[in-house]
Chains A and B, each alone.
Chain A
Amino acid sequence: QQQVKQSPQSLIVQKGGISIINCAYENTAFDYFPWYQQFPGKGPALLIAIRPDVSEKKEGRFTISFNKSAKQFSLHIMDSQPGDSATYFCAALTTGGGNKLTFGTGTQLKVEL
């Protein structure tokens, strides 16, 4: 079963626009929610992360919004740039039992000029 559901699968945004990627989870034991960015030929790299006791976290143009009651969280990329074109993964972590990450299925973002 997919414990972390991510949408959309792909996204095309114009330069300067807002990119929004959504994730939903089921397991209430998850207690940390990172987002990873992956460029072709590279491994995923941490972009931004949030704890469930915080509703929003902003780092530069990247913002995570978190809704604990709905078990949903989303990544917003403001003023999207062509250099943001990459695959984005949401993930959820349980800090017990080996700190295992469960990933969403990924969103391929393309920012067009």
Chain B
Amino acid sequence: NAGVTQTPKFQVLKTGQSMTLQCAQDMNHEYMSWYRQDPGMGLRLIHYSVGAGITDQGEVPNGYNVSRSTTEDFPLRLLSAAPSQTSVYFCASHGIGDPRAANSPLHFGNGTRLTVT
């Protein structure tokens, strides 16, 4: 049972480059989301999806794109990387319905550490 799998684990980009952070879950969860974690700022929501074909913006969406063509996958695209996007990125998922009733509202991947020089 893999849970939430993120690739790559580490990435270094130059300013202006583009790349896609991959996220896949094998729990048939409807809800998936992307967070970035920065020192002293906690985790901030970038984008989320409540199901295939449906995405919406979170707290810090600028500079990022997402799509949800399947239930399993939710890639995050950096269009033109900037040093301000240096961060650790986490993908998370949970099943549809009341998350308070579940044992865990969100299952997190182990993160992608991105450095933009």
Whether A and B are associated in the same complex: the answer reads: yes
Known A43-B4, A43-B109; judge A98-B42 contact (CB<8 A). no
Tell me whether A51 and B100 are in contact (CB under 8 A). Answer: yes
Chain B interface, number of residues (Cβ within 8 angstroms): 28
Task: Mark the stretch among A12-20, A62-70, A73-81, A100-108 that contacts chain B.
Answer: A100-108
Cβ of B74 under 8 Å from chain A: no
Contacts of B4 in A (CB 8 A): 43
Known A43-B90, A44-B43, A89-B42; judge A98-B105 contact (CB<8 A). no
Cβ of A27 under 8 Å from chain B: no
Tell me whether B43 and A32 are in contact (CB under 8 A). Answer: no
Give chain B's interface residues, CB within 8 Å of chain A.
4, 31, 33, 35, 40-45, 48, 50, 56, 58, 90, 92, 94, 98-100, 103-106, 108-111
Give chain A's interface residues, CB within 8 Å of chain B.
4, 6, 9, 31-32, 34, 41-46, 49, 51, 89, 93, 95, 98-106
